[in-house]
Amino acid sequence: MHWKVRQQFIPLEKTLLMGVLNLTPDSFSDGGRFSDVNQALDQAALMIREGADILDLGAESTRPGAFPVSAAQELDRLLPVLERLLKNTSTLISIDTTKSEVARVCLEKGAHIINDVSGLMDSGPAMAELIREFEAGLVLMHRRGTPLTMNSMTHYQDLIPEICGELELRIQSALSRGVLKEQIVLDPGLGFAKNPEDSFKMMAHLESFLDLGFPVLAGPSRKSFIGKVTGRSVEEREFGTAAAVAIAVIKGVHIVRVHAVGAMRDAVRVAEAIKGENYVRSF
């Protein structure tokens, strides 16, 4: 299996690491730490050294309760970092945005992937048409509502089938606008319009999302469901995250989205060794 990203075909035989780079002052995990351009670039360089295959740049918080920001503000935060990264690294760059106007500018600059946490629900046909035009990679995430409303939209009659059904509608929306199947990766949206019990059930049944026939990305990193069982603050959830990442690898997920790339790289390697696939290393 591969992922078509611009003019590249990215192999997905091994689990890829997507490093989170928050350029916001109010993200749930590390808000404000990397809002300075030089600090952001230093963090990006660290994640690349530690083995990140993709850097995911976000300039609007999607945590529960977060207020939206304008496209102009998003671009003000994104462009100084994006331009420097595209000039100085060949690492794939993903833009975490639900705004087609932001996506267009970033894709014109050379970004490779759009990570749409609304699954085209907020961004609509314009985003899908941009993905087709630029042949970019697209991450379609499942979410109900917006950051302001999603915590009130966690009622499911049958969790896994409902998420799969809603993802299928979002897939069809993309395909109907000319996006190729090979450009799409699915993210079931751990913690987005799901309570902690839902997120654990999703982790236990990740293979169900693979049955949709697309590569799958999982983003358990430092999420509140991990804090629910460990009692740990956001900054102390790396061990719990590593457990979730290892399980995701065993379940067959193709990409994991994480904050602590180096530690999670080790978790991925060990899980792949246990799984018995795609592990090459000199001892």
Q: What is the 3-state secondary structure (H, E, C) of 238-281?
A: HHHHHHHHHHHHHHCCCEEEECCHHHHHHHHHHHHHHHCCCCCC
Catalytic residues: 223, 257
198: CATH: 3.20.20.20
Q: What is the pLDDT along the chain (283 residues), one digit of tens a residue?
A: 899 999 999 999 999 999 999 998 755 455 556 668 999 999 999 999 999 999 999 999 877 777 779 999 999 999 999 999 999 999 999 999 999 999 999 999 999 999 999 999 999 899 999 999 999 999 999 999 888 888 889 999 999 999 999 999 999 999 999 999 999 999 999 999 999 999 999 999 999 999 999 999 999 999 999 999 999 999 999 999 999 999 999 999 999 999 999 999 999 999 999 998 544 443 3
Q: Assess if residue 238 is contained within a domain.
A: yes
Q: Assess if residue 281 is contained within a domain.
A: no
Q: Assess if residue 26 is contained within a domain.
A: yes
Q: Assess if residue 280 is contained within a domain.
A: no
User: Where in the sequence is the domain holding 6, given as residue range(s)?
Assistant: 2-275
State the pTM of this model: 0.92
For residues 24 and 35, the answer to whether their CB atoms sit within 8 Å is: yes
Q: What share of the chain is helix, strand, coil (3-state, %, to 5)?
A: 45, 15, 40
Q: Assess if residue 27 is contained within a domain.
A: yes
Q: Assess if residue 67 is contained within a domain.
A: yes
CA distance 258 to 123: 24
| Helix intervals (H) in the chain | 37-49, 71-88, 100-109, 124-134, 159-176, 196-204, 207-210, 224-230, 238-251, 261-275
Q: Assess if residue 141 is contained within a domain.
A: yes
Q: Assess if residue 251 is contained within a domain.
A: yes
The count of structural domains within the chain is 1
